[in-house]
Structure 1
């Protein structure tokens, strides 16, 4: 009998095609127009902080973390967080986010941003960015721009326009 237990492992470049198919099923083609997707264009995720969820060998969830610049400070952008529709409401998304936050904290990062629903992400430590403190590229509902401090006071050191950080 096949092992159908859930496993969370670090993402690798080899997971990209399966993640792309998962994102397509979950979000459709309109995802590319979203501001957060535009910010991640052409930038590889930080694989040490990005994880996939598998049930047996089937990839059922993924979460990426990408380095961004907020004004002069560096931060992380969480997302997309994707869980296969057949596996939602099972805690997979929350487990992926917690794993990424833990890895980011251990790696010395101080702040994580995302664009998402406060009722979902609040239980993982996210809260709304104060109005006007951070300017996101493209249109973003300010109520959906959230942050999680990995080090207390990290948001106070950040402000200004969010930009992508190109790989060297």
Structure 2
């Protein structure tokens, strides 16, 4: 067998984190779903046929954070100590913020980004029958702390 395509000098492999110290790690991510004003009103009034959009999206986001290592190929399986999703309803969009926490050897940035993505996709899925023009946008890491690289806070917003 020829194993030359996947070796430590080159291609696909998970980063070894076994020698790292366990530290408290937190990551926050942001995203937005743009939609018609009428769709926002239907969400606020509880008129979406599939149910309470934001409650389901919150659960979807939290579940997404817990499943990140199954979705992202080289992402480590992490014990998440906390995961939350918050929403801000605007006139033509819903802003989403996730916060994910752990104590471990690697950060939770991917889990926070996945949480926002899954919440946004859940909103889209629940509302697509009335508004297929929705746009998921601006998914980005806002903040992270812990680990060797220290703190990151997005400054451009």
Q: TM-score range by the shorter chain?
A: 0.3 to 0.5
Which structure has greater helix proportion? Answer: 1
Provide TM-score, normalisation by structure 2: 0.33
> Larger Rg: 1 or 2?
2
Structure possessing the higher relative contact order (Cα contacts under 8 Å, 6 or more residues apart): 2
